[in-house]
Amino acid sequence: MEKSINQRYVLTEPILPMLSGMLYSGKDLPLRRDVVFFVVESTDEATKEAYIRKLREVAPLSDNRFLHILDVGMEPNYIFAVLKTFDGKPFIQELKGHRFTPEEAVSKVLELGKGLMDALEEGISGCSVHAANLWLSDDGELKIINYWEKGTHAQRGAQGLGCLLYQILTCSESIPASFDTMEHRLREALAAIPRAEQEMLISTLRRVWNDQETLASFMLVLQGLRQDTTVRQDVAMPVWDRQVREKTEPEEAYEEEEPVDEEEEAPPRRSLGRAGRKFLVGTAIACLGGAAAFVWLGKHQEEPSGKGTSPAQTEQHAPVQTPHHTYDKPAGPEVANDPNQKKAEDEIVIVPNLIGLQNDTAGKQAMAAGLRFEFAMEVNEREEGTVFKQEPAAQTQVPKGTRVKYWVSKGTQQ
């Protein structure tokens, strides 16, 4: 099939049916380049004019996480948008056979989230990030195809990214109607990951599903998770083997093995984008509180006491106790005595009240007060993700830089 448009473009063959149109491959004859066409059939002039306006509103966006709009136009029976093409194909065609690792899946969802935040600054929001609306380039990057139309609630924003992460991890084209079904399939897909990490990942995705995470806070969690993974990829031992080995060692040994110069040697981090930077300045470190909730490849788990409990009972019913997640420099000897640092630590600050706050908010409050913090997650009657205890108590006067510890509820988990 070949169809000429305006004596400039040629549609060669259909690629993929989309929700509101059809995706075609084609050529821009004067410029001798391959392009992609998004074609919507319509004979109603008012409808076509409105659709063209919608396309032109988003056309200035030049973010590489979107297929750029090069041209738009109308014919008697349809509207078309000419999109910049990249070597690759629609992601939905590769979804069931992709070989992305869980770490790579997190990284790709994070990058798309950064693109959404940057697009939001340009006034573009609500586009679908369902796998059917993504293009997978040959270099492994995901790009949004249609960003001028709104997706459903489960396809856009934080929940859309959470569902996309589910799709990539389970190689599933459809999204279940309930999170319980999603959880069952996630457990099957993540069977190779230690139980504790499964619990934390699924707990976070449940919060996203229940609209308890904003796009920005979800991006903070994924950013911290990717940073944690990157640091451990510098270790010669495979990540999963290292996790299993260290889970069996005493906590003291774990702290001794943690690299002293981890902050200095970690690779440079990519920013959260323009909108992300404006929204998150001053909170990028505290955000790791939410990331630690994943305990994906990073902070290691303490085993439940489990006295008198069989392994099978522990796996099915016993709540997983997380370690005390600490947010300051890794344990180790001080390299130098900085007079300015000593002066800062001599300052007295007041411990804020963290009880009742969400995990990530509590970490930000502690950092804002000039304190370090650590937290543990335990079963409690409080709502999941809510702080129910802290030490020292609120309003206590302590030296600046003191470490505050708080406990976050995992819910009743009956």
Q: What is the CATH number of the domain that holds 402?
A: 3.30.10.20
Domain boundary among 85, 112, 127: 85
Domain boundary among 85, 107, 133: 85
52-58 mean pLDDT = 94
The rounded mean pLDDT for the chain is: 76
- Tokens matching residue 261: 């110069």
Tell me the per-residue pLDDT of 318-364, one tens digit each, with 9 for 90 and over.
344 444 444 443 333 333 444 444 444 468 888 988 888 888 778 87
Task: Specify whether 137 is located in the same domain as 254.
Answer: no
Question: Residue 226 has what pLDDT?
Answer: 65
Question: Residue 106 has what pLDDT?
Answer: 87
Task: Specify whether 93 is located in the same domain as 140.
Answer: yes
For 97, counting Cβ atoms within 10 Å of its Cβ (0-12 exposed, 13-18 middle, 19+ buried), the class is exposed
pLDDT band at 300 (very low <50, low <70, confident <90, very high): very low
pLDDT band at 412 (very low <50, low <70, confident <90, very high): confident
Question: Residue 166 has what pLDDT?
Answer: 95
Beta strands 88-90 and 142-144 are: unpaired
45-66 mean pLDDT = 93
351-379 mean pLDDT = 84
Asked if residue 82 has pLDDT above 60, the reply is yes
Cα dihedral 323→266→236→245 (10° resolution): 0
Asked if residue 75 lies in contact with residue 84, where contact means CB atoms within 8 angstroms, the answer is no
> Of the spans 69-78, 248-257, 377-386, which averages the highest pLDDT?
69-78
Task: Specify whether 81 is located in the same domain as 97.
Answer: no
Tell me the per-residue pLDDT of 255-298, one tens digit each, with 9 for 90 and over.
334 443 444 444 444 444 454 444 444 444 444 444 444 444 44
Boundaries of domain holding 179 = 89-232
